[in-house]
Structure formats: C-alpha cells, structure tokens
Amino acid sequence: MTTAAKGGTAAVPPTDQSPRRRPTRSVTGTRKLLAAVFLLPALVLLGALVVYPIVYSVYRSFFDQAGTGFAGIDNYKALFTDATIRTAVKNNAVWVVFAPTISTALGLIFAVLTERIRWGTAFKLIVFMPMAISMLAAGIIFRLVYDQAPERGVANAVWVGVHDTFAESSGYPKAHPLPVHPLKAGGGGSFVTKQPVTAGEPVLIPLVGVAPAKMPGDAAPAKAAGGGDGKITGTAWLDFTKGGGGTPNTVDPKELGLKGLKVEAVRDGKVIASATAGADGTFTLPASADGAQVRLPASNFSEPYNGVDWLGPSLVTPGIIGSYVWMWAGFAMVLIAAGLAGLPRELLEAARVDGANEWQVFRRITVPLLAPVLAVVLVTLMINVLKIFDLVFIIAPGSSQDDANVLALQLYRSSFGTDADLGIGSAIAVLLLLLVIPVMLFNIRRIRKEGRR
C-alpha cells in the first residue's frame, strides 16, 4: 500500500530549489593579466637592483682576480686564512654582540626613566637627536672627540682633567741643564750635583728648555739663597734672560725661579731629605743633608699625562662602538617607549599592591611584556651593524684601520682598493648575505607568530 493510500497525500520527491552560490573570485578576478602589467615595473626593478646583483656576486665569487679563470672555493678559503679578513670577521662578531645589546639596554633604561621625570619629552628629544645626523657627520664629530691632543679631543680633555685631579703632573717636562753646568745625569732622567753640597755654600741649579709661556703664573724673579745657618740652601731658576744678555750659571735679575721643582738630598743611593723650590726658586734642606748630593728626580721632567689613545689598536673598536651607541640608543628608546605606553597599567599596579618593589615590577612584568618590542629593536640593530661601514671608515685613522676593520669596510677595500680583487670582494658580499639571512628569517618568523595571536 502506498503512502498516498494511507495518508491521502502523495509524496513529493525532494528537490533543491535553493539558489546556487556563484564561485568566489579573487580581488583581481579574471584580470590576472592586468595585475601582472601593474606588477611588472616593480618586478623589473627588483630583479635589476636585487636579484641580478646577488646572482652575479655569487657567480663572480668563484672566479679569480681577473675574472677569467675559475677559482672554485679559493676565494672563500681566503676569508678564513687571510689575517686582515679574519680580523674583520672577529670585529663584526664583536659589533653584533655588543653594539645592539648596549643600545637596546640603554634604550630600555631611558624609556623607563623618562616616564618618571617631569621633562621626559625634552629628554627623549635630546637622546633621539643624534639620529638626525648622518653617519658621515657623526664620524667627523667623534674623530675630533677621540683626538689624542687634550686641547682638541673632548674625551682626553676630560680624562686628563680627572687624572690630574688625583695625580700630580710634571712641572717642567723639557727642562735640562746647559752644556757647562754644576749638574750631571743621575740616571732614569734625573740630575744630581757633581759635587757633594756643604752648609753655607748655596747650591746653584740652573736649567733651560722651559718656554716662558709655560712658566707658572706666580713665578717670581729668582733670588740667590742665603747662608742657611747650618742648613743646605740653594736656588733653582730658569737660566734664560728675555732679549738676551745674562751670565750662564748665575742668577740674573730678570730670570725667574722654578717654582715647585722637587729637590732631594741623596747619600749612598738613599733619599735623606727633600724640599720644594718656592716662587723665587729658593729651597732649604736640613743640616743632615750636609755632604750629600742634591738630586732633581725624574718626576720633574717627565712628559705630562696626555690621556688615552682612544683610536689606538686596542681601543679603536670599542671607541667606534661608543659612537654607534650614541646615535642609535635614541632609536631604541623611542620604539621601546611606544611599546611601554601600550602596557596594561592594571598589571603594574596590581603587582605594586601585592608588595612588589620597582625592580621586581621592572624585571618580572615590564621586561617580559616588552619582549616582542625588544626583539624588534635588537634584530633591527643586528642587521644594521652587520653592514656598518661609515663610522669605521671615517673614525679609524690609517694607522689602526686594520685593527678596526669590519666586513663591509673590507668589502670596499677588496673591491675598490689599490689591490682590488673582485673575486674576494664578491665572496665577502656573499658571506655578509649569509650572515644577514638567519637574522631576517628569525624576524619573519617572529612577525608571523605575532600576526597569528
């Protein structure tokens, strides 16, 4: 029996009456040719300016200096056997480790502190301002900052000032006796009297070789010493008369005393007494110095402290890294400050309410929350320092440029120097590319990971 007989109605087979969906199309739809036409100029530029140079550099790196003979991997072997290139690789490793780390750390400190000071915006502006200066200008500035002469180099002017505050400097570095004089060399740069001194006979210590402009401002006209009542007396003076005249080894009226000159009485190689010359050059030793020799210690004549050789072989790389940090710490500070402004303040306040001090809040909450921003800054600066060239080329003098060498500078020297070898230069370029690729891949993975959150 059919359903119609039982229920009185005929069964209707189901039919799909719903409207069919049209297949979704991409934004360009069927106009792929039009999209290719618009992309073609960019692809041509990308191929001409990026792809072709990379491919040709890889190809050229397998040929010799002339470019006609196949060299295989000999150019790559030279990267690790040539002492100059190995120094460049080592310095690049130092740059990658220290420059981004120090810049990021300072940027983090500045960003956190500027939130707590009244003039934080002005401070950020001052710290960020070096970013407006080109690498060329910054290199010239720091070449002057690191100048060896304290009267020109700011770094050495400060260093020498601090040193001279705690260490007494020499008063007369170029002073010396005349050819005919009552003194003789005492060894080690010192001078001693030729004969033992006797009470009642003033000791004469005439010196020359001190420019009048270098004399102490309060130096007085030299005065012949008196008898001394059993003590040893004498006079140390500049045996030079302006305009000529005067008698050698004799105190003349227009000659000045050597104020501050140190005098020692020496017997059997031991110092038994010492004195310092006054403004008029006179000095007095106790009666116990009778029969001893008077010595002028070498400290009177040593060259003045001239500071640190910032651009010498041992400090040139740290010095240039310092100039880089000066420029890029502001960049790190601005990016980290932007990330810091987006932190949920309720978490920080909750931690403080729970009893955490500021250091604990900073270390356990602020820094972990800022980790993505810190990674961006650190990776960006790492890529930047792998290509560092300008600062090293300008700041490092010719005498220490080999010690400050980096891969980008060696690439320039190998490709365009006096003994150019484009095979070596191309191999260095490929090595730089291989060093940058892992950092770029890490950055891309991090960006994708952030995008999936």
**Alpha-carbon distances, residue 222 vs 34, 122, 198, 336 (angstroms):** 98, 57, 21, 66
pLDDT range class, residue 167, cuts 50, 70, 90: low
| List of residues 6+ apart from 309 with CB closer than 8 A | 148, 315
Q: What is the pLDDT at residue 22?
A: 57
- Which pLDDT value is given to residue 15? 53
Q: How far apart are CA 348 and CA 119, in angstroms?
A: 22
Q: How confident is the model at residue 3 (pLDDT cuts 50, 70, 90)?
A: very low
* pLDDT of 315 above 50: yes
Distance, CA of 227 to CA of 224 (rounded, Å): 10
What is the structure's pLDDT at 389?
Answer: 93
* Per-residue pLDDT tens digits for 269-280: 899 999 999 888
Radius of gyration of the chain (CA): 39
Q: How far apart are CA 442 and CA 447, in angstroms?
A: 9
From 284, 329, 332, 313, select the one nearest 397 (Cα to Cα).
Answer: 313
Band the pLDDT of 92: cuts 50, 70, 90: very high
pLDDT-derived band of residue 151, with 50, 70 and 90 as boundaries?
confident
pLDDT, position 308:
87
What per-residue confidence (pLDDT) applies to 25?
Answer: 54
Q: At 5, is the pLDDT very low, low, confident or very high (cuts 50, 70, 90)?
A: very low
Angstrom distance (rounded) from CA 4 to CA 387: 87
Q: Is the pLDDT of residue 184 over 70?
A: yes
Give the C-alpha separation, 377 to 335, whole Å: 7
Containing 451, the helix (H) or strand (E) segment is: helix 422-451
Q: What is the pLDDT of residue 21?
A: 58
Portion of the chain with pLDDT greater than 90, in percent: 27
Give which of 71, 175, 121, 58 is closest to 437, Cα–Cα. 58
Instruction: Give the mean model confidence (pLDDT) for residues 127-136.
Output: 89
Mean pLDDT in the chain?
85
Is residue 14 pLDDT above 80, yes or no?
Answer: no
Angle between helices 371-386 and 83-114 (to 10 degrees): 150
The secondary structure of 169-235 as a DSSP string is PPS-TT-B--SSSSEEEEETTEEEESS---TTSPEEEEEB---GGGS-TT--B-------TTSEEEE
- Is residue 24's pLDDT more than 90? no
225-237 pLDDT, tens digit per residue, is 877 678 888 999 8
**How far is the C-alpha of 242 from the C-alpha of 221, rounded, in Å?**
13
Instruction: Grade residue 168 by pLDDT with cuts at 50, 70 and 90.
Output: low
For residues 11 and 4, the answer to whether their CB atoms sit within 8 Å is yes
From the list 238, 167, 250, the residue with the least C-alpha distance to 207 is: 238
Least confident of 242-251, 307-316, 317-326: 242-251
Strands 282-285, 232-238: pairing kind: antiparallel
Please give the Cα distance from 216 to 172 (Å, whole number).
10
Q: What residues contact 370, with CB distance under 8 A and at least 6 apart?
A: 108, 336, 339, 340, 343
**Residue 110: its pLDDT value, please?**
92
Residues 7-14: what's their mean pLDDT? Answer: 50
Instruction: Answer yes or no: are the C-beta atoms of 203 and 234 closer than 8 Å.
Output: yes
Burial 203-219 (b: 16+ CB within 10 A, else e): bbbbbebbeeeebeeeb
The pLDDT value given to residue 255: 87
Q: Residue 17: what pLDDT?
A: 55
Angle at 128 between CA 349 and CA 307, to 5 degrees: 110
Amino acid symbol at 136: L
CB-CB contact of 94 with 87 (8 Å): no
Mean of pLDDT values over 176-196: 84
Task: List the alpha helices (DSSP H) in 82-151.
Answer: 83-114, 120-128, 135-145
